[in-house]
Chains A and B, each alone.
Chain A
Amino acid sequence: AQSVTQPDIHITVSEGASLELRCNYSYGATPYLFWYVQSPGQGLQLLLKYFSGDTLVQGIKGFEAEFKRSQSSFNLRKPSVHWSDAAEYFCAVGEVFGNEKLTFGTGTRLTIIP
């Protein structure tokens, strides 16, 4: 069965500093990986996704993520965070075909300090 681990429950970063959110997955085949962001009381917005090709993917809002098969990781990064980036971030893994259910990690809450 597929699973996703986000080791960091809560991260605090100063505005303007760099950010890396960790995500490790377990999946039997080539994974289809996603990062979503959730603002308080809101649904999820897709930041970026990876299926194949270049292992460094660019997303919206200046985010990027790198797929490392050898480490089963798909960490999210941003060179310089903004106060508006404060939110909950979820990593997810899913099937590409078939029933296409997504499995989510437990999320990482990001706090930005001035």
Chain B
Amino acid sequence: GAVVSQHPSWVICKSGTSVKIECRSLDFQATTMFWYRQFPKQSLMLMATSNEGSKATYEQGVEKDKFLINHASLTLSTLTVTSAHPEDSSFYICSARGLGSTNEKLFFGSGTQLSVL
């Protein structure tokens, strides 16, 4: 099946620094990628939807200037948490979908655990 690679799987950073998370589709062209965050014992909350070559669409309450999303190619989307603070500590997961596919062809990365000190 299709593979989505997410990197890093785990990162610790100091408060005020920025962290970049990468999401790559390894064997298909991901025209749409989704970014989720998941707090402990809670569900996945959609943060934003990114389409290749266009600006990301953010969900209500998600700061677009804090969570920068770039989807510059059909195989790579990045999420940058700018000026991270302890409350940004969470598990971030990306998912990717190919052109013309519906949600049954949605593939998830393995997630990134971000800890901000």
Contact = CB atoms under 8 A, between A and B. Distances in A.
Interface of A: 9, 32, 34, 36, 41-46, 49, 90, 94, 96-97, 99-107
B93 A44 contact: yes
Q: Bin chain B's interface residue count.
A: 20 to 34
Nearest to B57: A99
Interface of B: 4, 6, 9, 34, 41-46, 49, 93, 95, 97, 102-104, 106, 108-111, 113
Contacts of A32: 102-103
Given A43-B6, A44-B93, A106 B108 contact: no
12 contacts: A9-B41, A32-B103, A34-B103, A36-B108, A41-B9, A41-B110, A43-B6, A43-B109, A43-B110, A101-B34, A102-B46, A104-B43
